[in-house]
Amino acid sequence: MADVFVSYKAEDRRRVKPLVEALQADGFSVWWDEQIGGGAAWRHAIETELNAAKCVIVVWSNRSVGPDGTFVQDEATRAQQRHVYVPLLIDKVHLPLGFGEMQALPLTGWHGDRSDPRYQGVLAAVRRNAGAKSAGKARSRSTPHARAQVDRRAVLAGGAVAAVAVAGVGGWALFKSSSASAAGSIAVLPFENLSGDPSQAYFADGVAEEIRSALARLGGLTVIGRTSSEAVRNDDGPTAARKLGVANILTGSVRQSASTIRISAELVDGRTGVDRWSQDYDRSPGDAIKIQTDIAENVASALSAALGMAARAVVSLGGTQNPEAQRLFIQAGAIAKGAANQREDERALQLLDRAILLDPRYADAYALKAGLLVMYGNSYANAEQLPKVRAEALRLANAATAIAPNLASVHRALSGLYSSNLQLGPAYAQLERARQLAPGDADVLSDFAGFTSALGNADAALNLADEAIKLDPLNFDCYGTYLTALFYARRYQDAVSYGRSIQAKFDQKKLGSMVLADCSVLLGRNQDAETFYNTVPRGFWRRLTGEAIMHIRAGDRTTGQQKLDELRTEFGDAASTQIGEIYAQLGDKDKAFAALDRAFAIKDAGLVALRVDAFLDPLRSDPRFAALLQKLNFPT
- Taking alpha carbons only, the member of 500, 436, 445, 499 closest to residue 468 is 445
10 Å Cβ neighbour count for 217?
Answer: 23
Q: Report the pLDDT value the prediction gives residue 158, as an integer from 0 to 100.
A: 37
CA 516 to CA 505: how far, in whole Å?
Answer: 16
pLDDT at 133 over 80: no
Q: Report the pLDDT value the prediction gives residue 610, as an integer from 0 to 100.
A: 96
Q: Report the pLDDT value the prediction gives residue 167, as an integer from 0 to 100.
A: 28
184-303 folds as Rossmann fold (3.40.50)
In DSSP terms, 87 is beta-bridged to 58
| 556-572: pLDDT as tens digits | 999 999 999 999 998 88
Q: Which CATH architecture has domain 4-130?
A: 3-Layer(aba) Sandwich (3.40)
pLDDT at 173 over 60: no
- Taking alpha carbons only, the member of 210, 164, 238, 171 closest to residue 510 is 164
Question: What's the whole-number mean pLDDT along residues 365-384?
Answer: 87
Query: Which of 323 and 35 is assigned the larger pLDDT?
Result: 323
pLDDT at 237 over 50: yes
CA 429 to CA 427: how far, in whole Å?
Answer: 5
pLDDT at 466 over 80: yes
CA 431 to CA 455: how far, in whole Å?
Answer: 13
Question: What's the whole-number mean pLDDT along residues 354-379?
Answer: 92
Domain definitions of the chain by residue range: 4-130, 184-303, 537-632
Question: What's the whole-number mean pLDDT along residues 189-204?
Answer: 82
When mean pLDDT is compared over 156-170, 295-309, 595-609, the highest value belongs to 595-609
Do 55 and 3 contact (CB within 8 A), yes or no? yes
Instruction: Tell me which DSSP letter residue 163 carries.
Output: P
Question: DSSP of 315-351, one letter per residue?
Answer: HTTT--S-HHHHHHHHHHHHHHHH--SHHHHHHHHHH
Do 592 and 580 contact (CB within 8 A), yes or no? yes
Q: How confident is the model at residue 96 (pLDDT cuts 50, 70, 90)?
A: confident
The set of residues, in sequence order, having a beta carbon less than 8 Å from that of 11 and lying 6+ positions away, is 63, 194, 253, 264, 266, 280
| Domain pair 4-130 / 184-303, same fold | yes
- Taking alpha carbons only, the member of 466, 506, 504, 505 closest to residue 485 is 466
Distances (CA, A) of 305 to 216, 276, 300, 316: 12, 14, 5, 16
What are the φ and ψ backbone dihedral angles of 603, each rounded to 5 degrees? 60, 50
pLDDT at 438 over 60: yes
pLDDT at 35 over 70: no
Q: How confident is the model at residue 41 (pLDDT cuts 50, 70, 90)?
A: low
CA 616 to CA 577: how far, in whole Å?
Answer: 10
CA 213 to CA 250: how far, in whole Å?
Answer: 13
Q: Report the pLDDT value the prediction gives residue 464, as an integer from 0 to 100.
A: 95
The set of residues, in sequence order, having a beta carbon less than 8 Å from that of 523 and lying 6+ positions away, is 492, 493, 496
**Comparing 104-108, 109-113, 355-359, which segment has the lowest mean pLDDT?**
109-113
Instruction: Tell me which DSSP letter residue 357 carries.
Output: H
- Write the single-letter amino acid at 301: S
Q: Report the pLDDT value the prediction gives residue 425, as an integer from 0 to 100.
A: 94
pLDDT at 163 over 80: no
CA 552 to CA 403: how far, in whole Å?
Answer: 54
Nearest 5°: the CA angle 536, 542, 547 is: 85
Q: Report the pLDDT value the prediction gives residue 402, as an integer from 0 to 100.
A: 94
Angle between helices 323-338 and 363-380 (to 10 degrees): 30
pLDDT at 289 over 80: no
Distances (CA, A) of 466 to 225, 386, 462, 478: 14, 35, 6, 8
What are the φ and ψ backbone dihedral angles of 231, each rounded to 5 degrees? -65, -25
| 504-553: pLDDT as tens digits | 666 554 556 899 999 999 999 999 999 999 988 888 889 999 999 999 99
Q: Encode burial over 530-543: b for 16+ CB neighbours within 10 A, e otherwise.
A: eebbebbeeeeebb
Tell me whether residue 33 is exposed, middle or buried, using C-beta atoms within 10 angstroms of its C-beta: 0 to 12, 13 to 18, 19 or more. middle
Q: Report the pLDDT value the prediction gives residue 56, as an integer from 0 to 100.
A: 94
- Write the single-letter amino acid at 28: F
Length of the chain: 636
Q: Work out the mean pLDDT of the chain and round it to a whole number.
A: 83
Query: Which of 549 and 9 is assigned the larger pLDDT?
Result: 549
Do 514 and 522 contact (CB within 8 A), yes or no? no
CA 100 to CA 65: how far, in whole Å?
Answer: 12
- Write the single-letter amino acid at 356: I
Which of left, alpha, beta for 154 (phi over 0: left; psi -120 to 50: alpha)? alpha
Q: Report the pLDDT value the prediction gives residue 313, as an integer from 0 to 100.
A: 52
CA 497 to CA 493: how far, in whole Å?
Answer: 6
Q: Report the pLDDT value the prediction gives residue 146, as an integer from 0 to 100.
A: 34
The set of residues, in sequence order, having a beta carbon less than 8 Å from that of 444 and lying 6+ positions away, is 158, 408, 412, 431, 434, 435, 438
pLDDT at 101 over 80: no
